[in-house]
Amino acid sequence: MKAVAVFRHSPGEGPGYFATFLERRDLPWTLFRVDAGEALPATLESFSGLVFMGGPMSVNDPLPWIDEACALIRSAVAQGVPVLGHCLGAQLMAKALGAAVTRNPVKEIGWGEVRVGQDASARDWFGETREFMAFHWHGETFALPPGAACILASPYCPQQAFALGPHLALQCHVEMTTTMIEQWCVGGAAEISAHPGPAVQQPSAMRQQMAQHLPALNAVADHLYSRWISGLRR
């Protein structure tokens, strides 16, 4: 099988549990370190799917690679190559497909409940799961692209995920690992202190709740990722 292309936009926001998922299934993947200046591929010929990870920047920032990423996403959608986005990656998908990305009313940081939609598309992606504790770290949100279905919501951000055929965009982070959460708690301490709010959790609480919530989050990720890889180009 052709490799899955994974795009990293920040050193601390790599593929995390998604890499574990692929490696357990012996699925090849290639990491593009966009944060280190690596060029995006010019074509999709070598890849079975595209995965865009998170990052602290905005898709509205004047960064040279954002337009290139959006063009690659549009090309993948046109060719039926599955695209998966996590947080910033989901916002890139929305922007590429013609939807606005704007400031969310509040920052959402830490563990928080999300609810799965009631329609057929939501059931297709989440199965019997109706709600779960996701991990959040975002201050912006996306509108829905034409033809997309909102399949997940939280009390503080109604657009937590959208599906469009074989493509899945996740505002929340299902790719988290213990190491990633620890790193973000340290690296994001100043942001947390500067933006107190109803949906912003303290690092101590994030750490304390890892043992309770992370295994269940990994199980949700397993289900979503399994559904996503079923569409990979062979």
Which pLDDT score, from 0 to 100, does residue 52 have?
98
Residues of the chain with pLDDT > 70, as a percent, come to 100
Spans of all domains in the chain:
3-229
* Residue 70: φ, ψ to 5°: -65, -40
Burial of 60 (0-12, 13-18, 19+ CB in 10 A): middle
Tell me the pLDDT tens digit for each residue of 66-75: 999 999 999 9
The string of pLDDT tens digits covering residues 6-48 is: 999 999 999 999 999 999 999 999 999 999 999 999 999 999 9
Helices 64-79, 88-96: inter-axial angle, 10-degree rounding: 70
- For the stretch 93-125, pLDDT in tens is 999 999 999 999 999 999 999 999 999 999 999
pLDDT at 234: 83
Show Cβ contacts of residue 53 under 8 Å, excluding neighbours closer than 6 positions: 6, 7, 8, 9, 10, 13, 14, 15, 86, 87, 88, 89, 175
- The CATH topology of domain 3-229 is Rossmann fold (3.40.50)
pTM, to two decimals: 0.97
Average of per-residue pLDDT values in the chain: 97
Per-residue pLDDT tens over the stretch 119-168: 999 999 999 999 999 999 999 999 999 999 999 999 999 999 999 999 99
Closest CA relative to residue 111, chosen from 195, 173, 191: 173
Report d(CA 33, CA 148) in Å as an integer: 28
